[in-house]
Amino acid sequence: MLTFIFTILMLVVFGKLLIFAIKAAWGITKILLYIVFLPLILIGLAVAGLIYIAIPVLIVVGIISLVKAA
C-alpha cells in the first residue's frame, strides 16, 4: 500500500516538473524565434532580393506586436 501511495505521489511531483519544463522550453523557443531567427529570416529575404515579401512580413509582425502590447 505504501508503494502504491509513493508511486502516485511521485507521478504527481514529476508530472508537475514535466509540465514546468515544457513551459520553460516553450518560452525559450519563442524567445529564440522572435529575437534571433525572425530578424535573420528578414535580412536573408532582403539580401536575396525578396524585399516584397520581407516588407509585408515586417508590417504584419509589427502590427501584431503593437496589438499584443496594448
Instruction: Quick: pLDDT tens for 2-45.
Output: 888 888 989 888 888 889 899 999 988 988 888 888 888 888 98
Q: What burial letters (b/e) apply to 20-33, b meaning 16+ CB within 10 Å?
A: eeeeeeeeeeeeee
Asked whether 54 and 46 are in contact (CB, 8 A), the reply is yes
Domain hosting 41: range is: 2-69
Interacting residues of 36 by C-beta distance below 8 A, sequence separation 6+? none
Number of domains in the chain: 1
pLDDT greater than 80 at residue 69: no
